[in-house]
Amino acid sequence: MTKKGKHTVLFICLGNICRSPAGEGIMKSLVEKAGLQDEFEIDSAGIGNWHVGQLPDSRMRKCGAEHGYNFNSHARQFQKSDFGRFETIVVMDNENYRAITSMASCQADKDKVVRMADYFSRHAGERIVPDPYYGGPEDFELALDLIEDGCRGILAQCRAAE
């Protein structure tokens, strides 16, 4: 999970306006609280280009703010060059996994792609972070709770690897 002394983590979802910017924001917050911001490079991207340049969905920003997070990154689309920049590419669901691994040019790149659910501890029975985009506030709460759980697991694994 390390590259040149830094943990490089990229969060992926479909459009980069709900789940992946939440992953980026939560992970940055956890890393900052641990005083480890110099040891991490954290970003997010989407599979599609529909929202490039936009802030995260207002409902996700509101949900995040209610939990003390600031989701203010601007959407961008995943690029094949991201395989070279990031050692860990965290996807939110199985469709994201298929889309990103299909862009890998070698097994080493495919091996960088992991599911957020692999890092759940409180929600060990869940297999994906469902997309809240077409849902209500409860769907954003669930996504945030799952992402928070996964980010804590990612941070714990990074710290254990040191």
* β-strand partners of 13: 46
Task: Verify whether residue 18 is a known catalytic residue.
Answer: no
- Are the CB atoms for 104 and 83 separated by under 8 Å? yes
What H or E segment, with its residue span, contains residue 90? strand 88-91
From 19, 61, 76, 115, active-site residue: 19
- 109 catalytic? Reply is no
63: annotated active-site residue: no
- Angle among Cα 113, 116, 118 to the nearest 5 degrees reads 90
The residues, any chain, with a CB within 8 Å of residue 27's CB and separated by 6 or more, are 9, 11, 40, 42, 151, 154, 155
For CA atoms 60, 61, 62, 65, the dihedral sign is: positive
Among the options 57, 82, 131, 149, which is catalytic? 131
Catalytic center residues: 13, 19, 131
